[in-house]
Structure 1
Amino acid sequence: FGGEHSGHFYFRDNWYADSGMAALLFALEMISDERKTLSEVIAPLDRRFRSGEINSEVGDPAGVVRRIEERYRAEGAEIDHLDGVTVGFPNWWFNVRSSNTQPLLRLNLEADDPETLEKKTAEVLAMIRS
């Protein structure tokens, strides 16, 4: 199983197809089996705070992404290039990627606590928008 914040869900046993309907049916089955509310079922899984997708128009998306990667690599972050650039630290991470259809950079950031989320979101957005 794989999922994204954007609402795409992929299932190995369903030929790796993206299926929102299958995700809904699996969730309903789990809720029924557990005899708990959805909030109770997902509470142990929802441990991080999320920015949601934040879009910013930029003139040179590749240049901005390169600057961001250079800065955080110098700070010892784990870097991944699967979809844009993902930068990881022990208590927070983010992904910045170019939109395929618009002149935008898309930022998604997660942190262990709301204070780090707010601080790091502002920090990364300042780099994107400068």
Structure 2
Amino acid sequence: MSTNPYPVDSATRTCCGGIGTHTRTCSTEPAAPAGASVIDDWGSGGEDRRVILGHDRHVIDSDVFVSTACIQHRDGRIDDGTTGDEGPSVYLDGAPASLNSDQARILAALLLESAALIDGWVRR
């Protein structure tokens, strides 16, 4: 008789896709969402949660940049903001009031790119 290499609780694991695919070597850390740049420690976004920051996207020849952020739960899901917590966000930093037309177009493209990224983190 062979021994089943999959623990009974494999259906509850997000690390490897569930039934029949969980093994003892699977990571228990959920993967960060696409575009993650800075992954804080667990607890930084509250109990069993962490803050994830996306890459900064810079507007040429200015101090303006766009970034993204979200809260990830230990089970891997990204907080969508419907429970009173902060959902994924796009942040704008710098002095966008003083951009030329080329820089403004770049900023618009960066905002759209960042919005599409966070839309992929949660279903609305």
Q: TM-score, normalised by structure 1?
A: 0.32
The structure whose Rg is larger is 2
Q: Which has the higher contact order (CA 8 A, sep 6+)?
A: 1
Structure with greater proportional helix content: 1
